[in-house]
Structure 1
């Protein structure tokens, strides 16, 4: 599994016995900014990477490569309690985003656990997940990483109004097609690099 920048930063910092507060003071930024980098909800820009590398005594290119890798090879998930729709949907997402790591989940809790350890760039969520709600899952995923793009998926267009009350960026009817996904990728709040092109 690709090492996340957040995990690498936390490991380097703790190995050197530096607290988030101490690193923040060295970089002249708030401790909360370091915390966001380490929980994967934010990434530093290239200038800050240079300063981080200096403070941590590591090679600049290694830190830069980690950030580029995360942007160019995004983690994408789909959650649907129908196995056939899930497998077909994952295949469509893989076709449209060949450089992404696409994971499919039937159980919402498994998706949450994955999101806690992987920076999810895009989540495609069924609104009705058996006894669970895709709307609630949306809020949970955004609590973990506010930069996750959320797309809702349903067979019932009546749910669209409820979906738009969340921070989701789009809504698709089942079954999804490559054209549907490409159209939604143009509207992402936090664009992804798809096949070497930012969408």
Structure 2
């Protein structure tokens, strides 16, 4: 089943004239994530298949029927309304957590919809997202799954005091680095195996 899905995905992407990197940028995942889907070593979940169907103009039910259920990799999300930051930060997360399924969102509401159908182990949330607050998003995610670890992202250290009152596990100043992410993983309220060095 994985081989069938991987072959179809490669065919659809090629027909659209997209490279793996271009498709990854449109989906807010890393290029290596697309490569894993295409070599059959990893399968996207239903939410990501929905994104793929829209991006590639493919039938959702057909793609879904070709993909088996997602593996047991922990789901990690990053929510930030800055597309440039998101594109640069996702590879950092993948470097540190190679076994995790990492997905980026620019819209808090899309992140919530994802969390309704996927058990999110860790959420990196920007604090200021236009009219939306990362603090409010944290509360919504924890209402869906109280065991979701939340780490806030911001360029402003003065937000750190407010962050602790929401049940977050940590706080990262932008720009994020692999060492900074690793330090946060050591302090999670609900640890999980991410496949990183020393995990």
TM-score tier by shorter-chain length is 0.5 to 0.7
CA contact (8 A) 1:74 1:99 kept: yes
| Residues 83 and 196 (structure 1), Cα distance of their counterparts in 2 relative to 1, 3 Å cut | closer
Tell me how far 1:196 sits from its aligned partner. Answer: 7.2
- SS of structure 2 residue aligned to 1:93: helix
What corresponds to 1:178 in structure 2? 178
Give yes or no for contact 1:75–1:122 (8 Å, CA) kept in 2: yes
1:25-80 per-residue CA deviation (whole Å, 9 max, x = no partner) reads: xxxxxxxxxxxxxxxxxxxxxxxxxxxxxxxxxxxxxxxxx9xx53xx10000000
Q: Detail structure 1 runs of 4+ shifted over 2 Å in the superposition.
A: 196-199
| C-alpha deviation, 1:192, in angstroms | 1.3
What root-mean-square deviation, in Å, do the aligned CA atoms of Structure 1 and Structure 2 show? 1.8
Q: Distance in 2 between matches of 1:149 and 1:87?
A: 22
Tell me the TM-score normalised to structure 1 length.
0.63
Q: Calculate the TM-score normalised by the size of structure 2.
A: 0.63
**Could you give the per-residue CA deviations for residues 64-105 of structure 1, whole angstroms, max 9, x where no partner exists?**
xx9xx53xx100000001111111111110111011100000
Q: Equivalent residue for 2:120?
A: 120
State the match for 1:147 in structure 2: 147
| 2:155–2:173 Cα contact (<8 Å) kept | yes
Where structure 2 has 5 or more consecutive residues not aligned to the other structure, the ranges are: 1-43, 47-68
Deviation at 1:195, TM superposition (A): 1.3
Cα distance in 2 for residues equivalent to 1:166 and 1:74: 22
Structure 1: 5+ residue stretches without partners: 4-65
After superposition, the Cα gap between the structure-2 partners of 1:189 and 1:83, relative to the gap in structure 1 and judged at 3 Å, is: same
CA distance in 1, matches of 2:150, 2:96: 17
Give the equivalent residue in structure 1 for 2:23.
Answer: none
Give the aligned partner of residue 111 of structure 1. 111
Structure of greater Rg: 1
Counterpart of 1:38 in structure 2 is: none
